[in-house]
A and B are shown apart, each in its own frame.
Chain A
Amino acid sequence: MTLTQQDIDREIAAEHAAYEKRVADGAPAEHHPRRDYAPYRSSLLRHPKRPLVAVDLSKDPEAVELHSPAFGERDITEIDNDLTRQHAGEPIGERITVSGRLLDRDGRPVRGQLIEIWQANSAGRYAHQREQHDAPLDPNFTGVGRTLSDDEGRYHFTTIQPGPYPWRQHLNAWRPAHIHFSVFGTAFTQRLVTQMYFPSDPLFPYDPIIQSVTDDAARQRLVATYDHSLSVPEFSMGYHWDIVLDGPRATWMEEGR
């Protein structure tokens, strides 16, 4: 039996209703997906079933997890944050600028930390060997970039609007257009890998990956805002996306940042 979109839609709705009921019954808001989220089938065999073991870092101020690896100017070349300039020719597609701030749970800027991105090209194809989608590759677009947050926690990328792509989990499964982000904070516990989406994508209701964030407000925090002031005249459309790193209180109360 081929798994259909309707099957997945029903599962997504059931997971959402179960979450709403938990919250109505007094459970706290869930800012992150549960690792066990059946509508995303790849999660089934890849999440731990035993409860995580808690480590109280406030009792262990020396813990290595309260520090993070350093990255600096040696790890970044000047045009690494401009994905449109990595080849001899211009990539095909709509140019975009993506900018925002890297923040901690106190709303303070997280400075000098590595932000890496990767994405499909404008046709929805990754420059990855195992990619099976037969949309065209773009010889002028690899879709990989990196940068460091500045003294105000700001980051900036110039790239191409990625296309949506099919992914074969179920019949007619399409991922909404997105950019993958990998981010470091000042503590290893703040590590974050996530995806940024674009406003009003009609694929949101059908995608079990974005829907794995069952809290409506949390899901909205994955969606960038169109920002006309970030659009570059005669060049690109601008999107604003702030990133807030999570982590235990011991992490974000650390002095001296």
Chain B
Amino acid sequence: MTKIDTTRPETVLPTPSHTVGPFYGHALPFPGGGEVAPAGHPDTIALHGYVYDGNGDPVPDALVELWGPDPDGEVPRVDGSMRRDPATGGFLGRNGVEFTGFGRIATDANGHWSARTLRPGTRGGGAPHLSVCVFARGLLVHLFTRIYLPDDQAALAADPLLSRLDEERRCTLVAGAQGNGTYRFDIRLQGEGETVFLEFR
């Protein structure tokens, strides 16, 4: 059962994943969940897109989580993404100054999500990217992917993950530039143009 015996490694087995279901909307999203960038920061970018199912229909009940480094490539260590108000019990929102690197956005009735965050910096050997975790009703285990920005073609060409993919698959991980620091990134769960999803080892 579920008192895990930690004295023997063979009994420390993972808790299985389950779908987020349809009714997380009053629990997981929080006000300002997509407003990750501190107000007025010059390196702010806007990211947005749709989540589609295998029929090409938008998914109105998906949840997208973003996680990434700051423009210097440093991983943030500050809390305060969902700052709460001890007086009212409600959400205060972020403080507009600190960068936590974490965003959480539910898709709207059109299957669309959007976020404003800081342009990720280079970190390690790869091209700059944000890490993404996707949840949805019907999805029994969440999916990981990455959003790469299209601006530095040399860095993208040298990226260890992207360089292993053929062109058709590779382009699903690279956001489209729309000008003014706005980028479009669609997530296709299945079928034509299916997004590359990642398994970490």
Q: Are A69 and B23 in contact (CB under 8 A)?
A: no
For B14, list chain A residues within 8 Å (CB): 31-32, 105, 218, 221, 244-246
| Contact residues on B (Cβ < 8 Å of other chain), bracket | 35 or more
Among B102, B164, B194, the most chain A Cβ lie within 10 Å of the Cβ of B102
Bound CA span A57–B65, Å: 20
Tell me how far the C-beta of A6 lies from the nearest C-beta in chain B, rounded to whole angstroms. 22
For A63, list chain B residues within 8 Å (CB): 123-124, 126
**Is residue A17 within 8 Å, beta carbon to beta carbon, of the partner chain?**
no
Q: Are A52 and B198 in contact (CB under 8 A)?
A: yes
A53-B198, A57-B201, A189-B144 known; A71 and B82 CB under 8 Å?
yes
Interface residues of A in 50-65 (CB under 8 A from B): 50, 52-65
Interface of A is mostly: loop
Q: Are A33 and B17 in contact (CB under 8 A)?
A: yes
Tell me how far the C-beta of A220 lies from the nearest C-beta in chain B, rounded to whole angstroms. 6
Q: Are B18 and A193 in contact (CB under 8 A)?
A: yes
Interface residues of A in 69-86 (CB under 8 A from B): 69-80, 86
Interface of B is mostly: loop
Bound CA span A78–B87, Å: 10
Interface residues of A in 85-121 (CB under 8 A from B): 86, 100-101, 103, 105-108, 116-118, 120
Q: Are A32 and B141 in contact (CB under 8 A)?
A: yes
**Is residue A209 within 8 Å, beta carbon to beta carbon, of the partner chain?**
yes
**Is residue A160 within 8 Å, beta carbon to beta carbon, of the partner chain?**
no
Q: Are A218 and B16 in contact (CB under 8 A)?
A: yes
**Is residue B96 within 8 Å, beta carbon to beta carbon, of the partner chain?**
no
Q: Are B16 and A194 in contact (CB under 8 A)?
A: yes
Q: Are A45 and B81 in contact (CB under 8 A)?
A: no
**Is residue B76 within 8 Å, beta carbon to beta carbon, of the partner chain?**
yes
Tell me how far the C-beta of A244 lies from the nearest C-beta in chain B, rounded to whole angstroms. 5
Bound CA span A232–B57, Å: 49
Q: Are B6 and A107 in contact (CB under 8 A)?
A: yes
Binary flags per residue of A33-54, CB closer than 8 Å to B gives 1, else 0: 1110100111111111110111
Q: Are A34 and B2 in contact (CB under 8 A)?
A: no
Q: Are B82 and A46 in contact (CB under 8 A)?
A: no
Q: Are A69 and B81 in contact (CB under 8 A)?
A: yes
**Is residue A16 within 8 Å, beta carbon to beta carbon, of the partner chain?**
no
A116-B28, A128-B25 known; A192 and B15 CB under 8 Å?
yes
Tell me how far the C-beta of B199 lies from the nearest C-beta in chain A, rounded to whole angstroms. 4
Tell me how far the C-beta of B165 lies from the nearest C-beta in chain A, rounded to whole angstroms. 7
A48-B143, A118-B24 known; A33 and B59 CB under 8 Å?
no
A48-B197, A105-B14, A240-B3 known; A180 and B140 CB under 8 Å?
no
Contact sample, A vs B, 9 pairs, CB 8 Å cutoff: A32-B140, A40-B138, A53-B165, A57-B201, A74-B80, A100-B2, A195-B21, A218-B16, A245-B15
